[in-house]
Structure 1
């Protein structure tokens, strides 16, 4: 497996002074998602947790619906990059053509190369009304709690993270990547492969909330999304229609709550 970090020498210029520095920088490499011998997507990603990334991407992009649709899977490293090879059932291979993607995208690109505008804003399933009940304090502290699960960020200060928060337990699983979409796919893949029930908790992001992040969260079946930064207006509309609870600007002990607030206890008694 390729190294996730490379140390490189540079020169730091601060005001009138200059000094030599050694920086740990995150690697990124092309990862080809291959289904039944056909490349469906090539994404730039951090070269760790490739299995989680591949399964998360396949699930959230609609190439597969369940793990039993995968007959076999392997990761093959090449000089030019990494192949994540799926062999899926014949019935699923036919359905996959509706969601086919062929591109070499920049870091974290979630829409490049799709075949139509209609595929960009695809219909989402409606999440069930039930779900976790999070306290105000758990939401407000979620992104701070995620910081304790970001070793790659600690070394490079240049990657995103996605974590899964369970009520009363905190962050129980996290993944990192140079791309925010990739980090979320890795997390979802790890959850599915590990049998973690997405409906029992919340996904926490170190990034803004775009349309794609809402789509992936809903496709994973997670009813709550918490992010450190802002949502887009379209992402909020999608979250509202899909039944997703969305809290943004979760930092500094507070957050903004935009959609489906019933899953978060916001009363004063819940602040402690």
Structure 2
């Protein structure tokens, strides 16, 4: 693990109980941070997060809110301790979002937004199941999760299977935002990519990926009924329990080649 990643951790002596026996040992715990996004001079949101890639987080959040579309929409971006300031070159209405502290849930964001994303994905691309499996396996390599078990992980791969970018964060939405922001800032085609996540696939997570224009989403965990219905209406392939040689394809199964 790099020094930068090590700075995100704190060592604490614990009592480990296992197999009816106990012992004292050191354990690694993840530190929490807070970052505020200021958009065009107005506070947009404050998030509890894992430090690092704050620029990607800010741009990804704005992309998933449809407050920007491309990197060219960001005229100026400044990162300082606890604050990311973005000035846009053009102002888009975007999707509604309550102004409040965000931690690990954005269910309110999904309410009233899903209907505006029906048919959001229209490319008709297909993907091999092996690409989703290999992307999900990549999640297990996340170094901070391996050290602490305390992060959510999101990974972006191309439909051809190329590993593009992985992000970890204490918040599942933040991890997705960081991956989406990386893609926007580096010109990676989100519309020809798949995103794999380590957590469940409820409505709010599916809405976030739909808003970003990602046609394929998978997880090592389960989808909810609302998440699957939103994915189907939006034209997204949604797969859960992507583990080893198995997966459950909830929507558009004809676009997944076994």
Q: Calculate the TM-score normalised by the size of structure 2.
A: 0.88
The alignment's C-alpha RMSD in Å is 2.3
The answer to whether the 8 A contact 1:145-1:170 is kept is no
Alignment match, 2:56: 52
Q: Distance in 2 between matches of 1:134 and 1:117?
A: 30
Q: Distance in 2 between matches of 1:232 and 1:38?
A: 35
1:230-252 per-position Cα deviation (integer Å, ceiling 9, x unaligned): 11111111101110011111113
Give 3-state SS (helix, strand or coil) of 2:10's partner. strand
Alignment match, 2:37: 33
Alignment match, 2:130: 137
Residue 147 (1) aligns with residue 137 (2): no
Compute the displacement of 1:140 (Å): 3.3
Q: Distance in 2 between matches of 1:161 and 1:136?
A: 20
Cα distance change, pair 75–201 in 1 and its aligned pair in 2 (3 A): same
Give 3-state SS (helix, strand or coil) of 1:140's partner. helix
1:25-52 per-position Cα deviation (integer Å, ceiling 9, x unaligned): 1122111111122211111110111111
The answer to whether the 8 A contact 1:40-1:101 is kept is no
The answer to whether the 8 A contact 2:40-2:88 is kept is yes
Give the alignment of 1:1-272 within 5 angstroms.
3-14=7-18, 17-77=21-81, 82-89=82-89, 91-92=91-92, 95=93, 99-106=96-103, 108-111=104-107, 117-119=111-113, 121=114, 123-124=116-117, 126-131=120-125, 133-148=126-141, 150-266=142-258
Q: Distance in 1 between matches of 2:25 and 2:148?
A: 13
Gaps of at least 5 residues in structure 1 are: 267-272
Cα distance change, pair 85–137 in 1 and its aligned pair in 2 (3 A): same
Q: Distance in 2 between matches of 1:136 and 1:91?
A: 39
Q: How many residues align?
A: 253
Q: Distance in 2 between matches of 1:179 and 1:68?
A: 27
Q: Calculate the TM-score normalised by the size of structure 1.
A: 0.84
The answer to whether the 8 A contact 1:134-1:263 is kept is yes
The range that moved more, 58-67 or 250-259, is 58-67
Q: Distance in 2 between matches of 1:68 and 1:42?
A: 24
Q: Distance in 2 between matches of 1:197 and 1:90?
A: 21
The answer to whether the 8 A contact 1:31-1:84 is kept is yes
Compute the displacement of 1:63 (Å): 2.4
Q: Distance in 2 between matches of 1:179 and 1:22?
A: 25
Q: Distance in 2 between matches of 1:230 and 1:37?
A: 39
Gaps of at least 5 residues in structure 2 are: none
Q: Distance in 1 between matches of 2:189 and 2:106?
A: 25
